[in-house]
Chains A and B, each alone.
Chain A
Amino acid sequence: METATRAYPPGEHPDQKPPIGQSGVLYWMHKNLFSSPFNVILTLLTAYFLYLLLPPLFGWLMIDSVFVADSRDHCRELGSGACWGFIGKRLGQFTYGFYPHDERWRVVLCFALFVAACVPILWDGAPNRKKWLYFAAAFPFIAFWLLIGGNGSIAAYGILFALVVVPVVYFSPIDDADGADTGGLTYVLLAVWAFLLIGLQNIFFSTDVDIGIGGLGNVMRTLITLLLIGLTMVPLFHRGMAGKLRRQWATGFFALAALWHFVGGTNFGFSSDHLLTIVDTDQFGGFMLTMVIGVTGIVVSLPLGILLALGRQSDLHIIRWVCTGFIEFIRGVPLIALLFVASTMLNYFLPPGSNFDLLLRVLIMVVLFSAAYLAEVVRGGLQAIPKGQTEAADAMGLRYWQSMRLIVLPQALKISIPGIVNTFIGLFKDTTLVVIIGLLDPLGIGRASLSDTKWQGLSTEVYVFIAIFFFICCFSMSRYSIYLENKLHTGHRED
């Protein structure tokens, strides 16, 4: 018997540490860099290659480069590297496009608010997260007002939406838990639709709507607006209201108030004064334009993509056919073609005399395009969820939207994170395509600036600079997605 050679009797072996030399820097280098002659050669070759590449690159970018200069010739006198002085001179234009100089603070403020709105959304450990989320819900409307200008009625409705409608529909006490059911979704869509109407009326359509209520007088119309807004708030104070009624009430009156505002044309009594000067969207440009298109595209296309993916899986034939047809059509057409359609052909379909903003048209196309891609990514995630999950949800009496929102989508979206972020990154970079239809994104600004006679021949600097901007944005999205995947990992293995 071998038992004599055992160090411990059976069942009494203590836990021991692993042998020395199986960890540490040297061990890692030996294992990964010098494990075989072939690997040694590869390592040395790579090191040589990096030696050839990095020092000159670093020299050009940093050491020999010139950060302050008056012209290209001045640059060349000062150093042999990159001429960042040119970028510095043009930085305002690269950032704001042709946004009026005196109004640029609005863009800066908007960006600061954007960062603040991102915090509670991206980081679930944020202190007072729930309150911040209200702000995040109001942010798009505030941003809209800040960037475009006007009398602030849009921001006012946005705040109303975030502070009343969102909490009533989504965060009200659990006794109306079916709030996130079909009902909740419908009401939010209704509210969003009402918003689009005001937005379109105020900014994008030059056609006037007159249904003959002008005679009511401005004070009267404003009073009616305020009354409707007051009614919107009732569910916040009347706790005894049944859950379903609360939602219908808040969203219904909100939509009515917005609609009344739209047809009645009241702007809280100061209809003609503009608190902020209106800036036409054709003055948008540079990184600001990239952010506007990229962020709007991401924020709007994700929910739309999810709905499309669910629609494509639906048991209802018509919905399935419509969604499938839409997805296949959009995916089969290049984005450039869609943008051309947006810039030229869309006017044929609109009533004569209406002036449909070019940026809005571009936004719609970008959103539809990325939504179609997202739908397919999400569908992949949906298909990976075992059928048992929906069966268990069904067996407990959850409804379709409940089981999607609570059971299927959280899991499907988690699986789809790499694909979703991939699509987002693609969308963000595709925003540069708008230069083709005449919007001045950073590439457009860059190309325009190259024709400056004082600064000729600096295209490398311009494009490297733009590339760095895009790399920072896309790389942070990529890192965030990895962080998210790790955070959502609950250590489960599906068998």
Chain B
Amino acid sequence: MNDKTELAAQLAVSDQQMIRIQQMHKWYGQFHVLKDINLTVNAGERIVVCGPSGSGKSTLIRCINRLEEHQKGEIWVDGTELTSDLKQIEQIRREVGMVFQHFNLFPHLTVLENCTLAPIWVRKMPKAEAEQVARKYLERVKIPEQADKYPGQLSGGQQQRVAIARSLCMNPKIMLFDEPTSALDPEMIKEVLDVMVELARDGMTMICVTHEMGFAKTVANRVIFMDEGEIIEQNEPEEFFNNPQSPRTQEFLSQILLH
């Protein structure tokens, strides 16, 4: 446990801002989903977002690459503001990778094609080079031998690792993880988490919505607790778990840690 907690401390965080969210609000129709969100993420930070379901944590990270539109406030990603301008949205999406709960691999393409698609069509990389890059990342997520299979032939854990490799092939500056292990069988969670820990070790800026508190303790340098569309509390993992301030955080932690 001790050397694990040290890992988080070892990882350097630069003071360069990658994401800045200011007074951001979002509504679904009349429903106020996100309320006055303020969040700054520096390069190299690993942030874990947790909270009860329906608290808006997924919506928050989906706002960062404009899968959801915010109605008020500002979101800046790597120096570019997210507006309805398509060029800026595309530019931000090129720099922000995303991993989904249900993997969302393209079932009609092979694993390799899944990985080369965006580099070829978005980054305009020559096919041979894109394949080389893809194989490198498949190697890194430890499934190089599956390159020519279709996603439907892989296990859940393998699919999620392909999804991570697919995002990495775009060489993103930020990775968003939307409950990456929630749809996995218990024995496959570890293989995905291991890959994510590796990533953190290499200094990737990560925002991760997850209930894996072990992961939060190991790699996160900040844990954010959300409830009913608001950021209730954020702190370093050790403080967050040992000494939660708000009663809602305490209640949430007591519920998930009891099991």
Q: Which positions in A face B, CB cutoff 8 Å?
A: 173-178, 243, 386, 388-389, 391-392, 394-399, 402, 406-407, 410-411, 414, 488, 490-495
Q: 6 more A-B contacts (CB under 8 A) besides A396-B170, A397-B90, A414-B108?
A: A388-B104, A396-B117, A396-B167, A402-B122, A406-B117, A492-B152
1/0 contact trace for B115-152 toward A, CB 8 Å?
00110111011110000000000000000000000111
A396 touches B120 (CB 8 A): no
Contacting residue for B153 out of A243, A399, A488, A491, CB 8 A: A491
A395 touches B108 (CB 8 A): no
**Chain A hits for B166, CB < 8 A:** 396
B93 at the interface (CB under 8 A from A): yes
Most interface-central of A178, A386, A388, A395 (chain B CB within 10 A) = A395
B170 touches A411 (CB 8 A): no
25 contacts between A and B (CB under 8 A): A173-B126, A174-B127, A175-B124, A177-B121, A177-B124, A386-B104, A388-B104, A389-B104, A392-B98, A392-B106, A395-B96, A395-B97, A395-B98, A396-B97, A396-B118, A396-B167, A396-B170, A398-B121, A402-B121, A402-B122, A407-B106, A491-B153, A492-B151, A494-B107, A495-B102
B65 at the interface (CB under 8 A from A): yes
B9 at the interface (CB under 8 A from A): no
Contacting residue for B67 out of A175, A177, A386, A394, CB 8 A: A394
**Chain B hits for A397, CB < 8 A:** 90, 93-94, 118, 122, 170
**CA of A392 to CA of B103 in the docked complex: distance in angstroms?**
9
Contacting residue for B107 out of A395, A398, A406, A492, CB 8 A: A492
CB within 8 Å for A391 and B67 given contacts A174-B127, A488-B108, A491-B152: yes
**CA of A53 to CA of B65 in the docked complex: distance in angstroms?**
68
CB within 8 Å for A491 and B150 given contacts A177-B124, A391-B104: yes
Minimum Cβ distance to chain B for residue A129 (Å): 18
B100 at the interface (CB under 8 A from A): yes
Please give me the residue from chain A that is nearest to B67 by CB atom: A391
B150 touches A492 (CB 8 A): yes
B102 touches A395 (CB 8 A): no
A177 touches B120 (CB 8 A): yes
Please give me the residue from chain B that is nearest to A181 by CB atom: B121
Minimum Cβ distance to chain B for residue A245 (Å): 14
Contacting residue for A396 out of B66, B122, B126, CB 8 A: B122
A396 touches B93 (CB 8 A): yes
CB within 8 Å for A175 and B100 given contacts A395-B65, A407-B106, A490-B108: no
A394 touches B102 (CB 8 A): no
Minimum Cβ distance to chain A for residue B61 (Å): 11
A490 touches B90 (CB 8 A): no
**CA of A93 to CA of B222 in the docked complex: distance in angstroms?**
83
Please give me the residue from chain B that is nearest to A176 by CB atom: B124
B65 touches A490 (CB 8 A): no
**Chain B hits for A394, CB < 8 A:** 65-67, 93
Please give me the residue from chain A that is nearest to B86 by CB atom: A399
**Chain B hits for A399, CB < 8 A:** 90
Minimum Cβ distance to chain B for residue A206 (Å): 47
A175 touches B126 (CB 8 A): yes
Please give me the residue from chain B that is nearest to A491 by CB atom: B152
**Chain A hits for B117, CB < 8 A:** 396, 398, 406
**CA of A316 to CA of B66 in the docked complex: distance in angstroms?**
18
Contacting residue for B152 out of A174, A388, A410, A493, CB 8 A: A493
**CA of A493 to CA of B122 in the docked complex: distance in angstroms?**
28
B122 touches A398 (CB 8 A): yes
**Chain B hits for A493, CB < 8 A:** 152
Please give me the residue from chain B that is nearest to A403 by CB atom: B121
**Chain B hits for A391, CB < 8 A:** 67, 100, 104
Most interface-central of A243, A391, A411, A493 (chain B CB within 10 A) = A391
**CA of A492 to CA of B162 in the docked complex: distance in angstroms?**
15
B124 touches A411 (CB 8 A): no
Contacting residue for B93 out of A176, A178, A395, A495, CB 8 A: A395
Please give me the residue from chain A that is nearest to B170 by CB atom: A396
1/0 contact trace for B57-91 toward A, CB 8 Å?
00000000111000000000000000000000010
**CA of A240 to CA of B125 in the docked complex: distance in angstroms?**
16
Please give me the residue from chain A that is nearest to B105 by CB atom: A392
Minimum Cβ distance to chain B for residue A396 (Å): 4
